[in-house]
Amino acid sequence: MKITAIKVYQVDLPLVEGRYSWSEGKFVEVFDSTVVEIFTDDGHVGYGEVCPLGPFYLPAFGDGARAGIGELAPTLLGQNPTAIGPMNQLMDRALLGHPYVKSAIDMACWDLLGKVTGKSVCDLMGGKFGDAVALYRAISQRPADEMAQNVAEHRADGYTKFQLKVGGRPGEDIDRIHAAANVLTDGEVLVADANTGWRVDDAVRVVNAVRDVDVYIEQPCRSYEHCLTIRRRTSLPFILDENIDGIDALLRGHHDGAMDAINLKISKVGGLTKARQIRDLCVTLNIPMTIEDSWGGDIITAAIAHLAHSTPESLRFSATDFNSYVSVKNATGAPQRKDGHMVASDSPGLGIAPNMHALGKPVAEYTG
């Protein structure tokens, strides 16, 4: 089985709520997503997606994904996409770094492996734990009272886990955390995610001011060292996200006792193959995970569901249903949120079919 062609599509994904705002005044209104379509000589077609959270969240951007895929394409044509290990090694040898570029290709390879074997990606990754995956809702940064109101609104959709976007002015962030905590009900989980936006002194002020609140603190500062400083100065449960970009970072954080949980994003670490490796290591080390991606549409939501649903429930902190945040459907068959949960498809591969109307014409096409 060989790759005969790779097509690349650019898809705009407008946000249902109009604007998604997080730390340091950053926001996105329309997400720039990239879908790859990989054709094989025996008639199978696989799909993958990568969607950075704008060009200023991680070192990733839409045009970069598409340029990188073009750089890799000559190496990939003629290769067996279901040989996931060699495919990843080839990509890493052909292009150093740029993990997000490889994520959509790796995802499409898993889709193809599932289609060829007749198994869902979830089954290939070890099989389902439990009936459904509990989701969290990100609460875009706004004035404190509006964010508290948003928590109540999203509770109506069945969500029980809420992640406040903070990383703004410390005084306002303290108000945001208190306002949201005041509307929580029993069993609900609150996370304050600063997305690297606080200086150390800002973060110290916030964690001191909310020390009696039942809230997780996520990625307060940009550098690992600054996060570790805050970690050692607060008793609040602590999550690392942006700094955990691979196995080395995970092992370092575990050794240092730098976090109680991590946020595992598929494209941040280079695709489902590497995300699964990190997931499995976290299972062994007993580290809970939020399983998601930087952003995405239906294809990424399906991939998240497969990785999350094949993760033991006790270590599944939460996951994300990005397809309910955006107004364009780039595929059918993806999980649809129900009562704050989603379920991985049992159909072969990712279990999705592309919405060719939404994908439009390919922006690039590579053939052998």
Question: Phi then psi for 103, rounded to 5 degrees?
Answer: -65, -45
265: annotated active-site residue: yes
Q: Quick one: three-class SS letters along 101-139? A: HHHHHHHHHHHHHHHHHCCEHHHHCCCCCCCCEEEEEEE
By the criterion CB under 5 A, which residues form the site for Mg ion? 193, 241, 263
Q: Closer to Mg ion by CB, 105 or 194: give it.
A: 194
Q: Closer to Mg ion by CB, 37 or 241: give it.
A: 241
Q: What's the min distance (Å) between Cβ of 263 and Mg ion?
A: 5
Q: What's the min distance (Å) between Cβ of 162 and Mg ion?
A: 13
Q: What's the min distance (Å) between Cβ of 313 and Mg ion?
A: 21
Residue for token pair 């945040």: 325
Q: Closer to Mg ion by CB, 36 or 139: give it.
A: 139
In this chain, which residue has its C-beta nearest to Mg ion?
A: 241
Three-state secondary structure call for residue 232: helix
Taking a C-beta distance cutoff of 8 angstroms, is the pair 357, 329 a contact? no
Three-state secondary structure call for residue 226: helix
Catalytic annotation, pick one of 7, 115, 165, 274: 165
Q: Closer to Mg ion by CB, 243 or 330: give it.
A: 243
Render 324-358 in DSSP notation, one character per residue.
GTBS---EES----BTTEE----SSBT--EE-HHH
Q: Closer to Mg ion by CB, 230 or 352: give it.
A: 230
Q: What's the min distance (Å) between Cβ of 355 and Mg ion?
A: 28
What span, in angstroms and rounded, lies between the C-alpha atoms of 364 and 312? 39
> In the structure, how many helices (H) and strands (E) does the chain have?
13, 18
Catalytic annotation, pick one of 161, 265, 268, 274: 265
Q: What's the min distance (Å) between Cβ of 245 and Mg ion?
A: 12
Positions marked catalytic: 165, 265
